[in-house]
Structure 1
């Protein structure tokens, strides 16, 4: 007798897991000054964040494909265990070198959580319910964005920074237990071929590329080692593409990109990821460096974005019953364009209220567009490649964020002050307007009869 999945319990398990990944970035960033004060190794400060992102970028499509081969529950469990082991080891770190290594392990596990979360939602719920579930998951990100810094500061001040990592363990265990009780899938038992060569070449390619970008951001000019890393990355990419075309069960089936929805969602996701990370990092810099306000006001400036994002995600779910994915995503990106224009018009005398209005508009746009794009990818493919499809989409968003940090870091020096900082930030924000317009143009390709049919299926 087949056991039946219990959707409500599945959602609870996924909400807990989402909270773990959502709060990780803000809570660790808040604690980093104290960590460096205890462990030393200030030169490795940025690597605590970078290695986590690097590991996550590499492991995301791998876990996405393995979830198609061996089931969502098994791969989600393995990813969560790796994440929790990395968390525990990070909490036990006695040196910055250890922390960087253990954060890499944690990042590998994190690469499984996001794509498989969305894949499970696609498996359990019908089309019209998927966006509603994305809204709930987005609301968790909003809550985490608000309480993450507060929680991190409280734990560091009253207990110890070690506990920002240890606290993940009980929540992760509860999430796994609930998922195993409530989620049941039926996997066809057959021998699978794991694309080890593809995984290895992809890891080499991404590691070389992202490390080269990190060094380029640090040195601000090309060196022989950076050029060598870019060459290795290019060779690795070409070899990876060849392997994916020839492989029996490739890690990232290139046939996915023949699908209009997946290609558009991935390209737009890359551009929007670039915009998102730039806004997240540089609005606080504007508030503190140009307006000369304290860090508290930086947090206040970003709060509206954390509120309007989940609200728009829920609204997106309701709209899918009457509007197409193209209409919803274009409306969302239009809001992002308006918000980026508002940022490009910032002056040193601009009030904090204006920035809050702008971040509210931008958050609304991201809530609409990211939710609808996620549902498009979930609904555009069958079960057997849904994990790989979600892995590719998450990969492109993460790549957009990693490359966004590297590129904007080349254009802007955080050591600048006064009018020079103001001018350079205005240039960065103006660039975001152009990127948002490009995302709008790419998404416009969804305005087809096929796009409308998918939106109401």
Structure 2
């Protein structure tokens, strides 16, 4: 980076871009009831979210490598432009099918924003400053969780749901302008960069098939269906071929030697399993709050809110202390906090008060902040400029993969646990009513049912959720075990000095 780079202006640009993509996740959820009312397609609603996740996950590692080959500025710009084009098209959608396709296009652009943003911050700031900045950027996701529903609600009620997409365009243009005006980078670009086209194509096909199968398994298709078997076979063949190509490529899209570095391999393992924990709690705790405690959807959202507040606090603390008490100690403290929260969750019962779940959210949020910041910083510090984009993207990708795999596994186990409980404990005469999960989430429907049936419904749902929370605890235990495998802080600092010298 040239000295004339204005770090403040570029940092603001990165924060704006990160906030855009973070808000997009929470804002759309708030607007979906109105979108469905206008466009129809209620049965396709999950795909508005799933397809965005799929395309973002698949393209993230590709952008990370391109940023190493062609520079951060141009790749960031291309990603944001694609994101803004997808946003504009989503606002213009006239059917749910169109919206799903445009969201897929939007996700292709979003795949560049997160890894390249974190990479640019890694380039701009040295070790300890980098830790503080990564903590700040992690807090943006917490802010998005707080203001997203408010922003979405305002546009839906006062203007139109279409403006939750349109508003991205002018804000994104400001971000691009700041980057081009104030980010000046120099690197020795190859005269003819060797782009790993074969690796990119094989990875895209293989991961798309795998993620599509995981997202639809047990819902749209049975796990034993021919469609899923074919998708898994395609994924296996393409990903095996991808590994074969990567070993031999001059400039591999995802350099496998990254995973040979202990700090990167362990950090990515931690990212995968903490993402499993996160999606398990985010997806299934609201069901407990609404179905067992009888709270409204709004109140269940409020119960989850402390995690959005505690996460940035944990990130900020981690950024300030990881170079004082050690990065490994900080990460271990984070996974211990997450494990404590999940253990409280798995021991909850029908009579457990709501404030206990608020404490769970605080523990998990603090833990996520404490573990995410050091692992991100260590990954970036373990490699030089020419691999930092790919290394950062590998971690972002592993977190996305963790959420997708987690959703698939938790959903399958949840359904299996419910079926087993119903056949063992609920008389056939009551089974249809007592196993109605949707009815459990509708207070008006419960009011017309006999107390015996309601009690059975609560026990039925509790059994399924306890099964999921047990798996969440297992993921938290693995996360803790992985942090214990991290290299010592002294070894990490020695490696950082070596990278800096070279």
Equivalent position SS for 2:323: coil
Counting matched residue pairs gives 457
> In the alignment, what sits opposite 1:181?
181
Q: Aligned partners of 1:399 and 1:451: how far apart in 2?
A: 29
> In the alignment, what sits opposite 1:398?
400
Q: Aligned partners of 1:449 and 1:265: how far apart in 2?
A: 14
> In the alignment, what sits opposite 1:286?
288
> In the alignment, what sits opposite 1:333?
335
| In the alignment, structure 1 residue 378 sits paired with structure 2 residue 380 | yes
> In the alignment, what sits opposite 1:67?
67
> In the alignment, what sits opposite 1:11?
11
Consecutive aligned runs of 4 or more in structure 1 exceeding 4 Å deviation: 413-417, 454-457
1:314-344: CA deviations, max 9, x gaps? 1111112312211110110000000001111
Q: What TM-score results when the alignment is normalised by the length of structure 2?
A: 0.88
Report 1:257-406 matches (<5 A): 257-406=259-408
> Residue 189 of structure 1: CA displacement?
3.2
CA root-mean-square deviation: 1.6
> In the alignment, what sits opposite 2:471?
431
> In the alignment, what sits opposite 1:209?
210
> Residue 394 of structure 1: CA displacement?
0.5
Report 1:406-417 matches (<5 A): 406-413=408-415, 415=438, 417=457
Q: What TM-score results when the alignment is normalised by the length of structure 1?
A: 0.97
Q: Compare CA radii of gyration and give the structure with the larger one.
A: 2
1:375-402: CA deviations, max 9, x gaps? 0101010000000001111000000011
Equivalent position SS for 1:140: helix
| In the alignment, structure 1 residue 119 sits paired with structure 2 residue 159 | no
Q: Aligned partners of 1:57 and 1:43: how far apart in 2?
A: 23
Q: Aligned partners of 1:451 and 1:393: how far apart in 2?
A: 21
> In the alignment, what sits opposite 2:452?
none
Please say if residues 324 and 451 of structure 1, whose CA atoms lie closer than 8 Å, have aligned partners that are also in contact: no
> Residue 278 of structure 1: CA displacement?
1.3
Equivalent position SS for 2:485: helix
Q: Aligned partners of 2:494 and 2:399: how far apart in 1?
A: 22
> Residue 452 of structure 1: CA displacement?
4.9
Q: Aligned partners of 2:412 and 2:222: how far apart in 1?
A: 6
Please say if residues 65 and 252 of structure 1, whose CA atoms lie closer than 8 Å, have aligned partners that are also in contact: yes
Gaps of 5+ in 2: 416-436, 441-456, 498-502
1:198-230: CA deviations, max 9, x gaps? 111111101111111122130443101111110
